[in-house]
Amino acid sequence: MRGAKEFRDAGSLEALKGLGQESALSIRGTVRADSRAPGGYEIDLLDAEVLNEVHDYPITPKEHARSF
């Protein structure tokens, strides 16, 4: 992640890596154009707060029984 060296709390950055699908975040950073990025923009992240952490969201790809 570009900008990670300026991130205020390295522990928080590590916590973001383990978030599941549909987790909610509040982030602060600088938006910049980047032609390599999907959609053409990237965010240089400065700060992030986890508002709601979700794991095993119901539509997350996983094994299902035949009865599903």
The one-digit pLDDT tens for each residue of the chain (68 residues) are 444 445 566 666 777 888 888 889 888 889 999 999 999 999 988 888 888 888 777 665 666 666 65
Dihedral, 21, 16, 43, 47 alpha carbons, nearest 10: 130
Q: What is the pTM of this model?
A: 0.57
Identity at 6, one-letter amino acid code: E
Q: Give every CB contact of residue 57 below 8 A, 6+ residues apart in sequence.
A: 20, 21, 22
